[in-house]
Chains A and B, each alone.
Chain A
Amino acid sequence: MSETVTDIAPAASRLRLRLNPVAGLGAAIVLTGIVLAVFGQALSPYDAGAIVDVDVFGPISRAYPLGTDYLGRDMLSRILLGARYTVGIAALSTALACTAGIGLGLFAAVVGGWTDSVLSRLLDALTSIPSKMLALVLIAGLGSSLPILILTMAFIYVPGCYRITRALAVNIAAEDFVLAARARGEGRGYIMLREVMPNMVGPLATDFGLRFVFVVLLLSSLSFLGLGVQPPYADWGSLVRENIAGLSYGAPAVVMPAVAIAILTIGVNLLVDNLPGRARAGGH
Chain B
Amino acid sequence: MSRRMVKLIAGRVLVAAATLLFVSAVVFGATQLLPGDVAQAILGQSATPEAVAGLRHALGLDVPALQRFVSWLGGLLTGDAGISLVSRQPVGDLIWARLSSSLILAGIVAAISVPLALTLGITAAVWRGSLYDRAVGVVTISAVSIPEFLVATLAVLIFAVHLQWLPALSFMPRSATPLQFLRAVAMPVMSLSFVVITQMVRMTRAAVIEALKSPYVEMAALKGASPARVVLRHVLPNTVGAIANAVALSLSYLLGGVIIVETIFNYPGIAKLMVDSVSMRDMPVVQACAIVFCAVYLLLVTTADIVAILSNPRLRHS
Contacts and interface: CB of A to CB of B under 8 A. Distances in A.
Chain B associates with chain A: yes
B293 A130 contact: yes
B147 A261 contact: yes
B23 A225 contact: no
A258 B148 CA distance: 9
A130 B274 CA distance: 14
Contact of A128 (B23, B141, B275): B23
B2 interface: no
B290 interface: yes
Interface string A230-270: 00000001001000100111100011001101100110111
A248 B278 contact: no
Q: Which range holds the interface residue count of chain A?
A: 35 or more
A125 interface: yes
B286 A130 contact: no
Interface in A128-168: 128-133, 136-143
Contacts of A143: 36
Q: Which range holds the interface residue count of chain B?
A: 35 or more
Contacts of B297: 128-130
A126 interface: yes
A50 B141 CA distance: 38
A220 interface: yes
- Of A133, A259, A269, chain B has the most CB atoms within 10 Å of the CB of A133
B150 to A, nearest CB: 4
B256 interface: yes
B145 A224 contact: no
Contacts of A268: 145
B301 interface: yes
A128 to B, nearest CB: 5
Given A132-B256, A143-B36, A258-B153, A250 B145 contact: no
Interface of A: 125-126, 128-133, 136-143, 213, 217, 220-221, 224-227, 237, 240, 244, 247-250, 254-255, 258-259, 261-262, 265-266, 268-270, 273
List of 10 A-B pairs having minimum Cβ-Cβ separation, nearest first: A265-B145, A258-B150, A132-B256, A141-B34, A140-B278, A250-B161, A141-B30, A262-B146, A140-B286, A141-B31
